[in-house]
Amino acid sequence: MSVLFLVESVNGQVKKNSFEAASYASKVAAQLGTEAIGVALGTVENSALAELGEYGATKVLHVTDASLDAFDSGVYASVVAQVAQSAGANVVVISQTSLGKAVAPRLSVKLQAGVVPGAVALPDTSNGFVVKKGAFSGKAFAYVKVDTDVKIVGLVPNAFGAIKGSGAATVENATANIPASGVKVLEVSRATGDTLPLPEAELVVSAGRGMKGPENWGIIEDLANVLGATTACSRPVADVGWRPHHEHVGQTGVAIRPDLYIAIGISGAIQHLAGVNQSKVIVVINKDPEAPFFKAADYGIVGDAFEVVPKLTEALKKFKAAQ
Amino acid sequence: MKFLVCISLVPDTTTKISFVDNDTKFNNDKVQWILNPYDEWYALVRALELKEANGGTVTVINVGPAANDQVIRKALAIGADDAIRVDGADDLDSFGVATNIAAVAKDGGYDIILLGKETISYNGSNIGGMLAELLDQPFVSLATKLEVSGNTATASREIEGGKETLEVNTPFVLSAAKGMAEQRIPNMKGIMSAKSKPLKVVPAVSAPAYTSVVKYELPPAKAAVKLVSPDNVEELVTLLHNEAKAI
Ligand SMILES: Cc1cc2nc3c(=O)[nH]c(=O)nc-3n(C[C@H](O)[C@H](O)[C@H](O)COP(=O)(O)OP(=O)(O)OC[C@H]3O[C@@H](n4cnc5c(N)ncnc54)[C@H](O)[C@@H]3O)c2cc1C
Ligand SMILES: Nc1ncnc2c1ncn2[C@@H]1O[C@H](COP(=O)(O)O)[C@@H](O)[C@H]1O
| pTM given for the model | 0.93
- Are the Cβ atoms of B38 and A252 closer than 8 angstroms? yes
**Closest chain A residue by Cα to residue B223:** A298
Q: What is the mean pLDDT of residues B9-19?
A: 95
By the 8 A CB rule, do B199 and B87 touch? no
List, in order, residues 6 or more apart from A86 with CB less than 8 Å away. Answer: A174
Atom of ligand 1 nearest to the CA of A305: 42
Q: What is the mean pLDDT of residues B60-83?
A: 98
β partners of residue A175: none
**Average pLDDT, rounded, for chain A:** 96
Residue B89 has pLDDT above 90, yes or no: no
Phi, psi of B11 (to 5 degrees): -65, 140
Question: How far apart are the C-alpha atoms of A207 and A231, rounded to whole Å?
Answer: 8
Tell me, rounded to whole angstroms, the distance of Cα A184 from its chain centroid.
25
By the 8 A CB rule, do B13 and A270 touch? yes
By the 8 A CB rule, do B173 and B117 touch? no
- Are the Cβ atoms of A98 and B168 closer than 8 angstroms? no
Largest CA distance in chain B: 68
**pLDDT grade for A193, boundaries at 50, 70 and 90:** low
Per-residue model confidence (pLDDT) at position B90: 83
Please state, as a whole number, how many other Cβ atoms lie within 10 Å of the Cβ of residue A318.
Answer: 12
- Are the Cβ atoms of B130 and A105 closer than 8 angstroms? yes
By the 8 A CB rule, do A117 and A110 touch? no
Q: For the purposes of burial, counting CB atoms within 10 Å of the CB of A248, is it exposed (0-12), middle (13-18) or buried (19 or more)? A: buried
By the 8 A CB rule, do A91 and A131 touch? no
Of B204, B206, B209, B205, give the one whose Cα is nearest residue B87. Answer: B204
- Chain B CB contacts of A243 under 8 Å are none
Q: Tell me the CA–centroid distance for residue B145 and ligand 2, in Å.
A: 19
ipTM confidence = 0.93
Q: What is the pLDDT of residues A56-105, one digit of tens each?
A: 999 999 999 999 999 999 999 999 999 999 999 999 999 999 999 999 99
**pLDDT grade for B162, boundaries at 50, 70 and 90:** confident
**pLDDT grade for A282, boundaries at 50, 70 and 90:** very high
**Closest chain B residue by Cα to residue A154:** B124
Cα–Cα distances in Å, from B24 out to A114, A247, B18, B86, B126?
Answer: 19, 35, 10, 25, 21
Question: How far apart are the C-alpha atoms of B190 and B195, rounded to whole Å?
Answer: 9
Largest CA distance in chain A: 61
| Coarse DSSP helix, strand, coil percentages of chain A, rounded to the nearest 5 percent | 35, 30, 35
Residues with CB under 6 A from ligand 1: A 208-210, 234-237, 250-253, 265-267, 269, 271-272, 275, 286-288, 291, 304-306; B 13, 37
Residue B220 has pLDDT above 90, yes or no: no
Which of A106, A132, A299 is closest, CB to CB, to B239?
A299
Per-residue model confidence (pLDDT) at position A27: 98
Tally of CA atoms within 13 A in the half-sphere of A221 that contains its CB: 8
Question: How far apart are the C-alpha atoms of B141 and B149, rounded to whole Å?
Answer: 19
Residue A191 has pLDDT above 80, yes or no: no
Q: What angle do CA A66, A106, B216 make, to 5 degrees?
A: 130
Shortest distance between the Cα of A244 and any Cα of chain B, in A, equals: 10
Shortest distance between the Cα of B34 and any Cα of chain A, in A, equals: 14
β partners of residue B146: B155
Atom of ligand 1 nearest to the CA of A293: 49
Which of A138, A143, A183 is closest, CB to CB, to B215?
A143
List, in order, residues 6 or more apart from A267 with CB less than 8 Å away. Answer: A208, A209, A210, A286, A288, A291, A292, A293
Which of A103, A134, A270 is closest, CB to CB, to B123?
A134
Of B181, B36, B218, give the one whose Cα is nearest residue B116. Answer: B36
**Average pLDDT, rounded, for chain B:** 96
**Ligand in nearest proximity to the CA of A268:** 1
Question: How far apart are the C-alpha atoms of A15 and A57, rounded to whole Å?
Answer: 15
By the 8 A CB rule, do B28 and B4 touch? no
Q: What is the pLDDT of residues A214-233, one digit of tens each?
A: 999 999 999 999 999 999 99
How many residues does the structure list for chain A? 323
- Chain A CB contacts of B210 under 8 Å are 108, 112-115, 146-148
Q: What is the pLDDT of residues B133-152, one digit of tens each?
A: 999 999 999 999 999 999 99
Per-residue model confidence (pLDDT) at position A126: 93
Question: How far apart are the C-alpha atoms of A96 and A117, rounded to whole Å?
Answer: 7
**Closest chain A residue by Cα to residue B137:** A182
**Helix count (H) and strand count (E) of chain B?**
7, 15
Question: Is the bond into B65 cis (omega within 30 degrees of 0)?
Answer: no
Question: Is the bond into B171 cis (omega within 30 degrees of 0)?
Answer: yes
By the 8 A CB rule, do A182 and A165 touch? no
By the 8 A CB rule, do A250 and B120 touch? no
Chain A CB within 8 Å of residue B106 CB: no
Q: Tell me the CA–centroid distance for residue B180 and ligand 1, in Å.
A: 22
Which of B129, B168, B178 is closest, CB to CB, to A183?
B168
Q: Is B62 in the pocket of ligand 2 (CB under 6 A)?
A: yes
- Chain B CB contacts of A281 under 8 Å are 240, 244, 246
Lowest-pLDDT range, A48-57, A185-194, A238-247, A287-296?
Answer: A185-194
**Ligand in nearest proximity to the CA of A154:** 2
Atom of ligand 2 nearest to the CA of B114: 23
